[in-house]
Amino acid sequence: MHWRVKASAVRSLVPKGLEVDVFDGDAWIGVIPFLMTDVRARFVPSAFAFNFPELNVRTYVRRREKAGVWFFSLDAASRLAVWTARRLFHLPYQSAKMSTVPVGGVIDYRSRRSSADGVQLICRYRPVGSLFRADAGTLDSWLTDRYCLFAANRRGKIFRGDIYHEPWPLQRAEVEIETNTMTTPLGIALPPEAPLLHFAKRLDVLAWSLVAG
C-alpha cells in the first residue's frame, strides 16, 4: 500500500546524508505487509530456515547514483529476526504479534506492536487482475524496482545493503483497512485517498552485507 505525500513531510525523518526521492514532485510512503519464508544465511541448510510475518513502513531515497529504500520501521513476529537485524543491519526492527491467514483467496493480516503504543495494522486484501511487469519509467517501476536499502547507525553513519531479485510479478489488489496506525509515531497522517495497491504472490530475494555509504 502506497500513499503520495509531500517531500517535506518526510524530509526531517530521513538522515541528512540521503536525498528524499520523488516521483512527479512528490514522495511516497509505503505500508507493506508480507510473509517472509525460507529466511537463512547462504551457508545455512534450508532445514534451518525460518518463516515469519513482517510489516514495514518505508519511503524512497537516493544517495549519489543509488536509488533505494529507507525504512521508518519494520515489525516482525520473530525475536531472532528483530535481534539480528537491529545489531547487524542497523534497521529499526520491532517485535509484534502478527498473523497472516488466507481465507477464500483473501489474506487476513493483523499486526500489533509489542511496545504497547497501539501501533497496529488490521486489513484484508486480495489480488485482482492479471499478472504484469512494471514498465520502465512508470510509477509502478519506480516504487518496486529498488535494489538497495539504506540504514544508519547511532552515530548517523550511512550504510548501504545491496539486494537482488527479478522484476516484481505484480497484480493489482483490493484492500479493506480496519485499522492502520503505522505512521502515527512518525507524526504523519496518511491522505484520505485510497492507497495505490500492488500484490505479489512470491519473490525470491538475495541480500548482501552492509557497506559504508
Confidence of residue 143 (pLDDT cuts 50, 70, 90): very high
- Main-chain dihedrals φ then ψ at residue 47, nearest 5 degrees: -65, -20
> Rounded to a whole number, what is the distance in angstroms from the first to the last CA of the chain?
28
Least-confidence region, from 27-31, 69-73, 82-86, 187-191: 82-86
Q: Please give the Cα distance from 106 to 146 (Å, whole number).
A: 27
Pairing of strands 66-76, 148-152: parallel
For 71-84, what is the mean pLDDT?
Answer: 93
pLDDT > 80? residue 48:
no
Residue 40: predicted pLDDT:
85
For 121-141, what is the mean pLDDT?
Answer: 97
CA atoms 98, 102, 103, 107: torsion sign = positive
Q: Please give the Cα distance from 1 to 6 (Å, whole number).
A: 17
Tell me which residue has cell 552515530: 155
Which residue ranges form the domains of the chain, and what is each CATH number? 2-212 (2.40.400.10)
User: pTM for the complete prediction?
Assistant: 0.94
Give the number of other CB atoms < 10 A from CB of residue 151.
20
Q: Please give the Cα distance from 171 to 173 (Å, whole number).
A: 6
- Summarised one tens digit per residue, pLDDT across range 13-32 is 999 999 999 999 999 999 99
Q: What percent of the chain has pLDDT over 90?
A: 85
